């Protein structure tokens, strides 16, 4: 009895297997690299042979690639990241009041009251402070991203960096480097700028109360955690599986869905070996001119996305995933 959760994000695809007591028995983190189909297949290849199809009692998908992933694997539930993260955090600790989640391309704040989501916000126009920006800065400074946080911990006096915008933050960093400030002070300064930016944009007007969970890939960065603690004035908890919280949430939600429906739609691990193709075209049916993407599995159409009217997406079994998404 295992529950499978897949979080197909912009930067990484995360996969977890939970046992019946919701302990993580398997977790895999794979870079999406713009190809969600391949990423899901790759992660399945790591499990194939070690687990049988019948071991999986439920399967859920989340993340920005949740729809496409659900068609590939036959998901029981397709859920947005906000709900998935909230469910996973509440399972761990019912007293969580705030979740700070920073992923590859977006950052979110989720407020929880009495064990239920009461408010949330997402970054709208700015991606400064998200994972891909930190990735890029680490690369530019020639520090592996894994050591980025530790490097900042050595800082004595963080330099003040303009963090309003990713492009300006970068130019300001270069400027500070050229003025001769030391690297760790600059990195810590950057982390503080990103936290300030997060609290001013995403967290604007939100009542951030402890206990705070810091989730998503960026939570691995110790200096970001410290910068948040300094700005908020209280402790911030980074859960053990912080990178996997989305997929853990999807797995838990899938378990609940199967309990209700009685059976799983999971298609099995063999998809790793199947041939998937996606084709895009512009529908000429009306003046909307929707851009439709078709997914083929070994030459057979398994799903369509992107049309407004349902002419294409209703043809295949995708429609069930829409229903399952709520």
Partner 1 sequence: MKVTIPHMGNVYIAARALFEGLGVDYVIPPQNSKAALEIGSLHAPEEICLPFKIMVGNYVQAIEQGADTVIVTGSCGPCRFGEYCEMHMKLLKRLGHQVEFIVVDAPKAIGLKELMARISRLTGSSPRSKGQKWHALAQAVRIMRLLDTIEAKAHERAGYEKVRGSCKHLLRECRQEVYRCKAPEKMIKCLHDYNKRMDEIPCDNSARPVRIAIIGEIYTVIEPFSNLYIEDKLMDYGISTKRLMTPSWWVGNTLMSPTRLNSLSIKKASRDYLPYNIGGHARECVGEAILSWKSGFDGAIQIFPMGCMPEIVSKAILPTIARDKDFPILSLVVDEMTGEAGYITRIEAFVDMLERRRSHAVSGY
Q: Interface residues with partner 1 (CB under 8 A)?
A: 64, 79-83, 106, 114-120, 122, 124-125, 205, 286-289, 308-310, 314, 322-323, 325-326
> In terms of CB distance, is 10 or 264 closer to partner 1?
10
**C-beta closer to partner 1: residue 182 or 319:** 319
DSSP assigned state of 144: -
- Between residues 268 and 306, which has the closer beta carbon with respect to partner 1? 306
Tokens of 74: 């036959």
Nearest 5°: CA angle at 5, between 326 and 221? 110
User: Cβ 88 to partner 1, closest distance in Å?
Assistant: 14
Query: 3-state DSSP call for residue 79?
Result: coil
Closest Cα partner for 16 from 247, 233, 245, 264? 247
Which tokens sit at 111?
Answer: 């407020």
The least CB distance from residue 35 to partner 1, in Å, is 16
- Nearest one of 109, 107, 114, 91 to 99, comparing CA atoms: 109
Nearest CA among 277, 290, 324 for reference residue 37: 277
What's the closest the beta carbon of residue 314 comes to partner 1, in angstroms? 8
Strand 107-113 vs strand 212-215: parallel, antiparallel, or unpaired?
Answer: unpaired
Task: Give the shortest CB-76-to-partner 1 separation in angstroms.
Answer: 16
Tokens 């790793």 correspond to 272
Please answer whether residues 218 and 102 qualify as being in contact, where contact means their C-beta atoms are separated by less than 8 angstroms: yes
Q: For residues 2 and 78, which CB has a smaller minimum distance to partner 1 in the complex? A: 78
Instruction: Work out how close the CB of 32 gets to partner 1 at its nearest, in angstroms, rounded to a whole number.
Output: 13
Q: What is the DSSP string of 22-41?
A: --EEEEEEEE-TT-HHHHHH
Please say which residue, 31 or 113, places its beta carbon nearer to partner 1.
113
Residue showing tokens 């402070």 = 129
Q: Of the two residues 79 and 243, which places its CB atom closer to partner 1 in the complex?
A: 79
Q: How far is the CB of 105 from partner 1 (least distance, A)?
A: 9
Using alpha carbons, list the distances in angstroms from residue 143 to 146, 187, 189, 195: 8, 11, 16, 21
Cβ nearer to partner 1, comparing 164 with 206: 206
Instruction: Please state the closest distance from residue 323 (CB atom) to partner 1, in A.
Output: 7
């Amino acid at each position: 009895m295992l529950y499978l959760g897949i979080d197909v994000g912009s930067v990484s695809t995360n996969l977890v297997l939970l046992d019946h007591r919701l302990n993580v028995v398997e977790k895999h983190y794979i870079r999406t690299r713009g190809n969600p189909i391949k990423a899901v297949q790759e992660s399945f290849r790591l499990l194939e042979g070690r687990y049988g199809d019948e071991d999986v009692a439920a399967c859920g998908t989340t993340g920005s690639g949740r729809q496409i992933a659900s068609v590939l694997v036959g998901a029981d539930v397709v859920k947005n990241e906000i709900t998935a993260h909230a469910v996973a955090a509440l399972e761990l600790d019912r007293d969580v009041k705030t979740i700070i989640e920073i992923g590859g391309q977006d950052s979110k704040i989720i407020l929880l009251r009495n064990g239920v989501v009461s408010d949330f916000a997402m970054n709208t126009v700015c991606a400064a402070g998200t994972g891909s920006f930190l990735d890029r800065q680490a690369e530019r400074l020639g520090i592996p991203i894994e050591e980025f946080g530790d490097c900042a911990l050595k800082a004595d006096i963080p330099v003040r960096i303009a963090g309003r915008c990713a492009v300006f933050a970068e130019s300001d960093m270069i400027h500070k480097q050229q003025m001769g400030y030391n690297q760790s002070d600059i990195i810590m300064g950057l982390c503080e700028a990103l936290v300030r930016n997060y609290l001013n944009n995403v967290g604007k007007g939100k009542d951030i109360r402890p206990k705070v969970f810091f989730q998503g890939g960026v939570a691995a960065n110790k200096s970001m955690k410290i910068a948040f603690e300094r700005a908020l004035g209280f402790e911030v908890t980074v859960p053990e599986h912080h990178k996997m919280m989305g997929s853990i949430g999807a797995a838990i939600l899938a378990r609940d869905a199967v309990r209700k429906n009685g059976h799983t739609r999971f298609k099995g691990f063999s998809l790793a070996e199947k041939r998937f193709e996606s084709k895009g075209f512009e529908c000429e049916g009306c003046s909307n001119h929707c851009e439709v993407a078709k997914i083929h599995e070994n030459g057979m159409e398994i799903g369509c996305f992107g049309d407004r009217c349902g002419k294409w997406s209703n043809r295949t079994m995708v429609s069930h995933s829409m229903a399952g998404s709520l």
